[in-house]
């Protein structure tokens, strides 16, 4: 995304509407956009199984304490978010703590409606991920790029700025196999 072009775009009505929708947090969002260089990626699809072990203390009929270990398995969606920053990643994390619907706790961030995400700070970027999977990092000259992949097909959507006033949209589907009757499209990898 060309952040400088977005800042230079003059539409007072749109600007006023956006500031109205952001409400009292508009200054925090302005600071966020000023520290972001325009690169943003979301990767989602599939799930990872995690195990949580808890020790529970119970009482028997004679009120004697009994410790019991309980192991629960949980399915966490594979999710990764990559944001390239103009400022030091530690300062960027402090800045997003002020945004609504986000809570930073140590090296984890909780975003509304998402699983807890681990924070991984790099030299000029921040990655948030739900699991320890390595996410694919690609550099493209596109405005937007999305890939969908599952066991039945692969597809890609791209938005490419061909000149100052024109954006070219491409959507391709390849490697299509027949979806068996009664099967659903699940565990898609989107990046």
> Same domain, yes or no, for 19 and 93?
yes
Beta strands, E only, the chain: 36-59, 65-85, 102-105, 108-111, 117-121, 125-129, 144-149, 154-163, 166-174, 189-190
**3-class secondary structure, 22:** helix
Q: Is the dihedral of CA 53, 103, 3, 163 positive or negative?
A: positive
Cβ atoms within 10 Å of 37's Cβ, excluding its own: 15
Among the three residues 108, 131, 154, which one is the final residue of a domain in this structure?
A: 131
Residue 54 lies in a domain: no
> Same domain, yes or no, for 87 and 43?
yes
pLDDT 10s per residue in the chain (191 long)?
555 666 666 677 777 777 777 777 677 778 888 888 877 777 777 777 878 889 999 998 888 999 999 998 888 877 888 888 888 888 988 888 878 788 888 888 888 888 888 888 888 888 888 877 766 666 666 777 777 776 677 778 777 777 767 777 888 877 776 666 655 555 444 44
* pLDDT score of 190: 47
* pLDDT score of 184: 57
DSSP lists the bridge partners of residue 117 as 109
Cβ atoms within 10 Å of 100's Cβ, excluding its own: 11
> Same domain, yes or no, for 107 and 142?
no
> Same domain, yes or no, for 111 and 167?
no
Among the three residues 116, 131, 146, which one is the final residue of a domain in this structure?
A: 131
* pLDDT score of 179: 62
Q: Which residue segment(s) compose the domain that 145 sits in?
A: 138-191
Among the three residues 131, 150, 170, which one is the final residue of a domain in this structure?
A: 131
> Same domain, yes or no, for 18 and 86?
yes
- Maximum CA extent, the chain: 80
Residue 36 lies in a domain: yes
* pLDDT score of 191: 46
Residue 52 lies in a domain: no
């Amino acid at each position: 995304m060309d952040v400088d072009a977005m800042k230079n775009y003059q539409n007072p009505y749109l600007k006023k509407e956006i500031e109205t929708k952001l409400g009292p947090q508009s200054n925090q969002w302005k600071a966020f956009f000023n520290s972001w260089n325009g690169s943003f990626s979301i990767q989602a699809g599939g799930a990872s199984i995690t195990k949580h072990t808890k020790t529970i203390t119970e009482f028997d009929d004679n009120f004697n304490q009994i410790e019991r270990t309980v192991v629960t398995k949980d399915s966490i969606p594979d999710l990764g978010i990559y944001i390239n920053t103009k400022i030091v990643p530690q300062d960027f994390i402090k800045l997003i703590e002020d945004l609504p619907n986000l809570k930073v706790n140590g090296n984890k961030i909780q975003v509304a409606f998402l699983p807890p995400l681990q924070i991984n700070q790099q030299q000029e970027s921040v990655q948030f991920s739900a699991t320890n999977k390595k996410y694919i990092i690609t550099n493209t000259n596109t405005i937007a790029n999305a890939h969908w992949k599952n066991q039945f097909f692969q597809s890609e959507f791209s938005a490419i700025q061909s000149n100052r006033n024109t954006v070219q949209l491409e959507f391709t589907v390849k490697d299509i196999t027949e979806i068996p009757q009664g099967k659903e499209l699940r565990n898609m990898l989107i990046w």
